[in-house]
Structure formats: C-alpha cells, structure tokens
C-alpha cells in the first residue's frame, strides 16, 4: 500500500475554487531581530487584510509574520534585509501562478502543497490514530456529485465531464448547477456514492480539498482527474479512489460506476482503508504559520536562497 502520513502533516481544493484564497502568490516575511519569544507566548500573525490572529508558537526565534502580495515586494538590491527570511507561499498550481520568472533569487524558502517544498503543507493527509475508530458509512441515496465554482470550458475537467454525463447522471452544484449553501459541501456530498474530485489543472502533487474534504470527509468514493495515479498513491491507498486514467473512455468509467452502484461488496471495498486511517483536512492559515515556526526552529542559522523558483515549481 502507498505511504500515508502516520501522525505527520500532509493538505485539499484549488485556491481559486475555494473560500480559502486571498492571493495566488504570497510572501511570508519572518523578522528574526526582534526579542525572542518564550514557550507559549503568543505571536502576532498579520494578514494582508489587516486582520491579526493570535497563535501559540513553540519557538524561540519567530517573532513576526507578515503576508505580502508578491507584486508588492521590493526588487532593488538588496531586496531582502539580512535579518529576514522570505518564504514564497503558494497553494495554486503552476497553471494559475503567473510571474514566477521575476522572482529568482528573492526567497529563502518555499511553502506549498508540493512534497519537495522547503515547508510542505499539503491540502490534507491520512493519519493512523492511536486506537482504531469504528467507521460507519452514511446512507447513500444518490450516485454522483460534482461541486465546481470555477467553470472553464477549456479545462480538461469540464471536457471530461461533458463526455461522462452522456452515459451517467451527475448532479452538478455551484457555478453551472444546483445551489449549494455555504458550508454544506460535506453534508450534501455525503448522500452520494461517488464524487468527481476533478482538479482545475494537472500538476505534480496538486491534490486539493476536492479529494480531502469534498470526497473523503464526506465519505464518498473520489473519482479523480489530476496528476497520475502513482502521484496519488504517494499519499493515499490505491484502493481508496478511482482514477479516470484507469479507463480507456468516459463511457467505460460510467459502466464501472454503475456496476459498483449495484454491487455493494465491491463498492464497500473502497472504504477498507478506513479501518486504519483517519482524514485530516488542513486548516488555512494557522497550520501554515505553525509549519513555518517549526522550519525556523529546525534550520537555525542555515538559510538558503531559492535561485530559480520558476524552473522548480513548473517542473
């Protein structure tokens, strides 16, 4: 079985498609010259909208975190004060992250959903609780749901949906479908057997809350369209999801979903992993701040510079 985080951190929906977003590209500016904090002392975390959140920080270095839009960063040398650490923070895919070529040599660290980031904060992760908890599958009265707010006819997910719906009834919520009350995604999707966890673009590790929250937290089997199956299997069991690439055509996928609908034992096998793992959906933005604190404490005086941000993130 693929690796799943056991007590570790690992995160899920496109920022453009979700309520979490403020900026596609942001920078965390960490000032290390201010007096040190003591254990459990609150640090002030200042966001781009001027709001201040209080967070207990277990570190002796991180004093102030400010989120800035990348476009507001200075470019003239020296661009970064020597006592500051600049972290490039982005949870959108390369397809929706313009302007990266002008950021070479500007940041010390990267923070994103990519596992090879300096500070890795995925949209969700699986963890093994100390003691197994009983899992009860909600009553399923409907077949397939899809929630989408960023509708674009050029996206692969919309093109695939248009082919799939020719062979299968799909309830669409959001921009081009049924109304969905705020905060009701999980409750709504829990009545469905399957959820279309279709990403807005296909890139390495770009597995968003479409999988973690909309499908897993709602106890629906995710039908995924995103990176390759092998990429998903780095984070979740291979028998926990259905990949569109497993089938030569949308018609064949529709046939398989109809088969599972009529064969309860086969359908329930997609929940076998629930005997061992629980689902965590990462919380924006408090968990991100905590991960930066951990990184500062671990790095000490070993600070690097990201020389070619674009080539790394677009690879």
294 in active site:
no
Give the DSSP H or E segment for 287.
helix 286-299
Whole-number pLDDT of residue 99: 86
Whole-number pLDDT of residue 277: 96
Whole-number pLDDT of residue 37: 33
Give the DSSP H or E segment for 159.
helix 156-164
* Rounded Cα–Cα distance for residues 97 and 313 (Å): 9
* Rounded Cα–Cα distance for residues 148 and 110 (Å): 28
Tell me if 75 sits within 8 A of 51, measured CB to CB.
Answer: no
Q: Give the strand order in the sheet containing 142-148.
A: 171-174, 142-148, 192-198, 221-225, 242-243
Whole-number pLDDT of residue 142: 98
Set out the domains of the chain in order of their start, with CATH numbers: 15-125+283-313 (no CATH), 142-277 (3.40.50.11660)
Whole-number pLDDT of residue 31: 61
Whole-number pLDDT of residue 284: 85
Tell me if 279 sits within 8 A of 212, measured CB to CB.
Answer: yes
Catalytic residue among 6, 33, 92, 153: 92
User: Which 3 state secondary structure label does DSSP give 301?
Assistant: coil
Q: What is the DSSP string of 115-145?
A: TTSSEE--BEEEE--SS-----PPPP-EEEE
Q: What is the mean pLDDT of each run of 10 residues along the chain (315 residues)?
A: 31 31 53 41 32 31 53 66 83 92 88 96 96 92 96 96 98 92 94 98 98 98 98 98 98 98 98 96 88 83 87 95
């Amino acid at each position: 079985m693929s690796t799943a985080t056991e007590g570790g951190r690992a995160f899920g929906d496109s920022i453009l498609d979700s309520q979490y977003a403020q900026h596609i590209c942001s920078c965390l500016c960490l000032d290390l010259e201010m007096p040190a904090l003591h254990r459990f002392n609150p640090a002030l975390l200042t966001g781009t909208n001027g709001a201040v959140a209080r967070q207990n920080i277990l570190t002796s270095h991180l004093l102030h975190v400010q989120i800035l839009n990348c476009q507001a960063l200075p470019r003239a040398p020296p661009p970064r004060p020597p006592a500051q650490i600049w972290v490039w923070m982005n949870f959108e895919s390369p397809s929706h992250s313009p302007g990266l070529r002008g950021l070479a040599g500007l940041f010390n660290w990267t923070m994103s959903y990519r596992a090879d980031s300096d500070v890795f904060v995925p949209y969700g992760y699986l963890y093994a609780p100390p003691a197994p908890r009983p899992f009860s599958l909600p009553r399923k009265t409907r077949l397939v749901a899809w929630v989408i707010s960023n509708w674009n006819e050029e996206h692969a997910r919309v093109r695939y949906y248009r082919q799939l719906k020719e062979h299968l009834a799909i309830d669409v919520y959001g921009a081009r479908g049924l109304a969905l009350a705020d905060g009701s995604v999980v409750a709504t999707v829990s009545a469905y057997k399957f959820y279309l966890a279709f990403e807005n673009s296909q890139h390495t590790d770009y597995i968003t809350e479409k999988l973690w929250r909309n499908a897993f937290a709602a106890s629906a089997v995710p039908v995924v369209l995103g990176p390759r199956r092998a990429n998903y299997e780095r984070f979740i069991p291979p028998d926990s999801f259905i990949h569109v690439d497993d089938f030569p055509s949308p018609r064949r996928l529709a046939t398989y979903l109809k088969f599972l609908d009529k064969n309860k034992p086969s359908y329930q096998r997609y929940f076998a992993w629930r005997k061992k793992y629980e689902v965590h959906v990462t919380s924006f933005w408090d968990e991100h701040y905590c991960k930066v604190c951990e990184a500062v404490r671990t790095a000490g005086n070993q600070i690097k510079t990201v020389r070619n941000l674009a080539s790394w993130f677009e690879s």
